[in-house]
A and B are shown apart, each in its own frame.
Chain A
Amino acid sequence: MKSFGGKVLFLDRNDINTDEIIPAKYLTENTKEALKPNLLEDLKLPGFDPKKDLPGKSVVVTRANFGCGSSREHAPWALEVNGINLVLAESFARIYRQNMYNCGMIAVELGVADLNALFTDFPGKATTVAMDISKRELTFTAPGVAAKKASFKLSEFESALVEAGGWVEYAAKNY
């Protein structure tokens, strides 16, 4: 099982699409590792610089419809090879979300109120999130900010995929 939690990258926009996560021109790569330098390079967001903001981050916190567009699993892979296994968002595009669990990664929906509070209090401060999967609980901490807890849902099937390490492993065993 992968590890979930760590330093947070905040991306405060709806509809961040697969082409922004990893542009199509890198789909000619035949390994996941080759995608590492190009994660989020086409995302235009005020103050965001992937070269400066990505290193050391393990979690993305963002808004609605994250991962819309292409079916490319290169999008979660590009996150994975950069050490990001957990994305917290208001909502996800279907294929993107399924791709995350199929890779043994976690895509979790948070309520708008929780996200608004997070985006108000934490960005710009070195934020860390700890994930307690058994309690379905997240704890956000940052220097000078009161710790914030949020609960999340993870279904039994999703949980089984995460524990198995992905859908190939699950399906090979069960079908």
Chain B
Amino acid sequence: MMVNKKIWIIGILLVLLPFVLGQVNVCCERTEGGAWCQNSEPGTCNSSYREAPTSCDTTSYCKPGCCYDSLEGLCWESTPQRVCDASGGSWTDDPDCNIPQCNLGCCVLGDQGALVTLTRCKQMAGFYGLNTDFRTNIVNEIECIAIADSQEKGACVYEADYQRLCKFTTRGECSTAGLEGIDGTITNDSTGFYAGILCSADELATNCGPSTDTIMIEGRDEIYFKDTCGNPANIYDAARINDNIYWKEIYSKDESCGAGSGNAGSQTCGNCDYFLGSIGKMATSSTGTPTYGDYICVGLNCKNGKQHGESWCVKDSPSGGGKDPVGSRYYKHVCIFNEVIVEPCADFRNEICLEGSTNGFSEAACRANRWQTCLGQLEDDDCENDDLRDCVWIGGYYYNQTTGTIYPASPKNLTPQGVCVPEYPPGFVFWSTSGTASSLGSTGTGEVNNFGSASLGGFSGSSASSSGSAGSSSSMCSAASTSISVEFKGKYEDIGDVVSDLFGGDDELEWECDGYDKFCDLMGDDPDNVNIENLKVWAREMNTICAAMGDCGGGVNWQGTSTDDGFAAYSDGKRFLGSAGAETIDTSSSTTTTTTNTDTSALGGLTG
């Protein structure tokens, strides 16, 4: 009987254990919000679908795999089996799609190439009416494009309706039509492929000849002359419009006019180059008019002087050195096609923007802000190791790992005499009382929205859950919270004056600062003459550390709104000095107690 009772108790404990230890997640085949296969909190699953008290990875229906689209030849990674089946795909148990059907190769389509699967290549060849040319030995996109571009091109001469016709194409495409290559002298009676020769060549005696018209080719930047049959000829060069050789032989891009530059706005040269900041476009009143034809090289550089393709960082000032204001963010700007595209890095300074330059061409990227390990570094070399983290070392203070707080360094304290803080302070959801990941997830209606004081109310029934709380400002800010109290103790010193002893005259009053030695050093020993300047400097320095921990302490937000909260000094419970040192000291009390601490609630004033 006793044994049975114990088994019951153990059983109940086992059932309750997960709930005692923390929230149990379930795998929802579909959530109330409409998301497929999510590890979520119980109660967030759509009751019309399956639910399992385990991770989705271990379920049969939500296990991620490779979803293969056999019609398009596309592979979709990390797709749950249930979703793939419902979409009409073919599912394989390999989320990274390392399966033969998904192997990439170079698909050569005329003079263009793409790195795709075999099925995709066949499909694309079908779209363009070409033979499938799939090369499995080339798995590099740049190499593939280069190979396609180097396809031998020339005039494919054929006869139809007793006429000699010509199509400018590749040797492969010409041979598909049953026409063999012709080497040696150009003749006016043989049909076949003439490598390196244009259809407009007089010697071919086809019905194609020179014209004053120009043409753009799909996938190419340059503008080409167009022969009377509509075939592209050489790159448009107004100076050579009557040059028979130029209408006979193929000239490479490097041999053409303005090689090595973009030729933006040139009326006479169509040698545009996307990577040099120009591309051929239909001429308009704003682009200028070419001497011949309808197309002109349009410049792609930006008006701010940045070249096409350049990127750079834009930051809310100040930034770095632990000084990023609350609400600030990093941005990457990219100059593409005449315009600047703004790409915000991750909010809350979870990402920072880094910028470099090669020969005056700047490139920027958003990358993760690695501030998480700063506080644990006890040596300045470790702290400022750029390979591992983004931190700065501030001397004169130390982090007590036992108490978890930062103190001013004191002669009585051992090393380290400095504290390691984030170089780019992270942002917090300091306006949220819960501040958990779940508050940032999706609602039951499926809308995922910005969080903010107005939106937070809408996150009931949220489903994000598993990875702990996110961004509680109090947890991080508390590391820089310090409360130091000192007490001025006064005693009358007998000065040995007999008159005073007999008639009650005052002996000399002597004060002594009792408490944290560093702080007593700062304040001095006389409560009527406390060294305010030292205190102000100390409060500001501590606030600097505090602000470097994240959105903590007093300061100025990105919109310029300031607060004087954060570190403060109190006397007999009355605040007399803020971190900006705005208040005046009141030393009316004979015994002065000075206390300092951080006030996370003050952050509300920084939101702006």
The yes or no verdict on A and B being binding partners is no
